[in-house]
Structure 1
Amino acid sequence: MLRKIESKNMGSSNLGWLRSKFHFSFAEYYNPDNINFGVLRVINDDLIQSNTGFDTHPHRDMEIVSYVIDGELTHGDSMGNKNTITRGHVQYMSAGTGVYHSEHNLGEDTARLLQIWIYPDKKGYEPNYGDYRFNWKDRENKWLHMVSSKDGDAPIKINQDVNIYSLELRKGEEISFPVKEGRQAYLVQIEGNSLINEIELNERDGMEIVEEDILIKGKETSHILILEMSKED
């Protein structure tokens, strides 16, 4: 089963310093039929103006992954961490029993990132933070496995059975991705234009994939993120 979600039909917000597309219910956008996709609770496609950002605020019992598309993102938290990442890099935080953090764009240009929230497999983990600076070439025409469960083999490990992959597929190239029985995936067309099993996706569109292998064809050079997980009961 494939279901395309067009960007124009997603929730949106414009606070001036922050412009967002919400793949799932968030903030002032509430749709009772679009709260989550399995353990995936939030994907926000955020544009953050220079020298602005999210001031210190709390989180609890959530696995939070930030994937930078453009510009830079600086993280600070109550555990004493402070780091800046740029295009193609990832920050990860397990909020667990509770943590305060901030995220700011201290660069000169507008930053774009995907903010991803995933339900943990249980509550009460000790808070944890990490980041990883992936080589961009490692996702050119191939899947870069960035995030997995603690039992997986990705560099970043979270407290949930979720795998996150990124890809830059050149125009005219093809690549497959298996979504096996009992599994599902959510795809974000971050940049470019592609065909997913002959269904066209444009920049910022999404797609739900349930127990169906896909073939991706690049109509333009395409930057794609896939989150693969256990199928929702």
Structure 2
Amino acid sequence: MIEIRPFAKLGHANHGWLNATHHFSFADYFDRNRMNWGRLRVWNDDQIAAQAGFPSHPHSNMEIITYVRKGAIFHRDSLGNEGKTDAGDVQVMSAGTGIVHSEYNPDNEEGLIFQIWITPDRNGHKPSWGNRPFPKNDRQGRFVPLASGFEEDHPEALNINTSGRVSGATLSKGQKIEHSLLNGCFAYLVPSTGKITINGVSANARDGIAIKDETSLVITAEEDAELVLVETLD
């Protein structure tokens, strides 16, 4: 099963400094048919105004992955962590028993991020934060694990406390790749940029692609494309 969820039909909220698109129910956007996809609970496509951001606020018992699409994001939290994550790179905050954090666009231009929340394997993990660069050239023509709960993906991928992984790939126009999915997983793919076909089905940049009961994906780039894929075991 491959279901295309067009970007224009996703949930939307414009707060001025934040122009947010919601793939799943979030805040004031509610769709009982889009509460989650396996362990994937949130996928927000956020446009953050220059020199603006999320003020300090708490989270608990959630794995929060931020993929920076354009610009940068600066993180600060109650554990004393702080750091900047640039475009193409990833940060992971395991909220665990509780953490308070802020996220800020330090640049003089709009920033773009994917904010991805995945439910943990259990409540009560020790909270933590980390980030890592992931050069786009290293994932040309293949999916590279960016954040993962599977030992075989470490130490290259950032750790998350769940049975799942977040991967990234870049494709040149006309390039095709085949990717084997985790057996029995719920998968969700979003092209950050570029039009693609996936198992013969067309999708545009920023569309959501919900995938279930597929063993592999054959993806062809109709344009240069940057892809982010989540696979979770329920």
Q: TM-score, normalised by structure 2?
A: 0.96
**Deviation of residue 151 (structure 1)?**
2.6
Match of 1:52 in 2: 52
Match of 1:134 in 2: 134
User: Is structure 2 residue 224 aligned with structure 1 residue 229?
Assistant: no
Given that residues 92 and 147 in structure 2 are in contact (C-alpha distance below 8 angstroms), is that contact kept between their aligned partners in structure 1? Answer: no
- Residues 79-101 of structure 1: CA distance to partner in whole angstroms, max 9, x if unpaired? 00110011111111111111100
CA distance in 2: counterparts of 1:12 and 1:186, whole angstroms: 19
CA distance in 2: counterparts of 1:160 and 1:68, whole angstroms: 21
2:74 partner letter? T
Match of 1:177 in 2: 179
SS in structure 1 at match of 2:153: coil
CA distance in 1: counterparts of 2:185 and 2:61, whole angstroms: 23
User: Is structure 2 residue 192 aligned with structure 1 residue 190?
Assistant: yes
Write out the 4+ residue segments of structure 1 that deviate beyond 2 Å after TM superposition: none
SS in structure 1 at match of 2:151: coil
**Deviation of residue 180 (structure 1)?**
4.7
Given that residues 179 and 209 in structure 1 are in contact (C-alpha distance below 8 angstroms), is that contact kept between their aligned partners in structure 2? Answer: no
CA distance in 1: counterparts of 2:196 and 2:160, whole angstroms: 29
Q: Give the gaps of 5 or more residues in structure 1.
A: none
Given that residues 96 and 126 in structure 1 are in contact (C-alpha distance below 8 angstroms), is that contact kept between their aligned partners in structure 2? Answer: yes
Match of 2:107 in 1: 107
Q: Classify 1:124/1:208 alpha carbon distance in 2 versus 1 (closer, same or farther; 3 Å).
A: same
- Residues 43-81 of structure 1: CA distance to partner in whole angstroms, max 9, x if unpaired? 000000011000000001100100000001000000001
Q: TM-score, normalised by structure 1?
A: 0.96
**Count of aligned residue pairs for this structure pair:** 231
- Residues 110-167 of structure 1: CA distance to partner in whole angstroms, max 9, x if unpaired? 0000001110100011111111111221111121111111533242111101111101
Match of 1:168 in 2: 170
2:95 partner letter? A
Q: Give the gaps of 5 or more residues in structure 2.
A: none
Q: Classify 1:32/1:166 alpha carbon distance in 2 versus 1 (closer, same or farther; 3 Å).
A: same
SS in structure 1 at match of 2:74: strand
CA distance in 2: counterparts of 1:87 and 1:60, whole angstroms: 26
Given that residues 42 and 115 in structure 1 are in contact (C-alpha distance below 8 angstroms), is that contact kept between their aligned partners in structure 2? Answer: yes
SS in structure 2 at match of 1:152: helix
1:186 partner letter? Y
**Deviation of residue 181 (structure 1)?**
3.8
SS in structure 2 at match of 1:84: strand
